[in-house]
Amino acid sequence: MQQLQGRVALVTGSTHGIGTSIARLFASEGAKVIVHGRDQQAGASVVEEIGKAGGEAMFAAADVKDFEAIEAIRAEIERKFGFVDVLVTSAGGGGGQPMAVESISADGWKTALDENLTSVFLTIKSFLPAMKKAGRGSIVTIASSNPHRPAPIAYGAAKAGVILLTRDVAAQVGPNGVRVNCIAPSTILTPGNENRIPEQAKASLAASHPLHRLGAPKDVAEAALFLASDQSSWITGVVLDVAGGAVMT
């Protein structure tokens, strides 16, 4: 039995990296998947790949910092597939380089929070009411292990905000049958990171993790599948550190 058979799953930011891996896995487990992003060519490619593997998917383009745009794709999804009962908020911006607080521009600070926190709030705000009305649903947010470690402060603050948002929403909507959990990955070797991080730095980063390797997108996807599926039916409000042992709490 496929773990997400009959579910409708939206994975934001799924045209590249971690989001793509989650979308592929969810489709292979029976979900009708909405691939989301702003790169239409990449989105069409992921949808095509899912279709060739026997899955069902559609592409939806929207700026998740724009509530009206999110509402528009929600209406489009509901017309085609019905209400979304699995939501993964994978969209977000890069962390950038650490710098002194006084060197961060006001615009840079706002951009980091909008891309990594406000976008999550707006997406949940749009899709949560239908879940509450149906009395079921699973939301998986993506934060970062960075709030536990030195990191670009604006990005870290935004991801810490995602964790707080996750826990608050989980407490609010548990009585409605909706679960909300968070994944906090450490360094994941997405295609972008594979190209960006020098080999020597990869080795050093791997050595800093007790499991002595860096994460793969599939590591996060498998965790998302667990939290989205009925296998975690009595779990809500948790933060799952997918971090190779780099975070132990």
155 an active-site residue? yes
pLDDT score recorded for residue 147: 52
| Domains defined along the chain, listed by start | 8-242 (3.40.50.720)
pTM above 0.85, yes or no: yes
Least confident piece of the model among 56-65, 98-107, 136-145: 98-107
Model confidence at 99: pLDDT above 60? yes
**Is 232 in contact with 203 (CB distance < 8 Å)?**
no
Strand 8-12 with 32-37, pairing: parallel
DSSP 100-147: -GGGS-HHHHHHHHIIIIIHHHHHHHHHHHHHHHHT-EEEEEE--SGG
Between CA 112 and CA 207, with CA 198 as vertex, the angle to 5 degrees is 90
Share of the chain above pLDDT 70, in %: 97
Q: Which of 14, 155, 236, 242 is catalytic?
A: 155
pLDDT score recorded for residue 150: 60
**Is 77 in contact with 58 (CB distance < 8 Å)?**
yes
Model confidence at 97: pLDDT above 90? no
**Is 48 in contact with 74 (CB distance < 8 Å)?**
no
Model confidence at 23: pLDDT above 60? yes
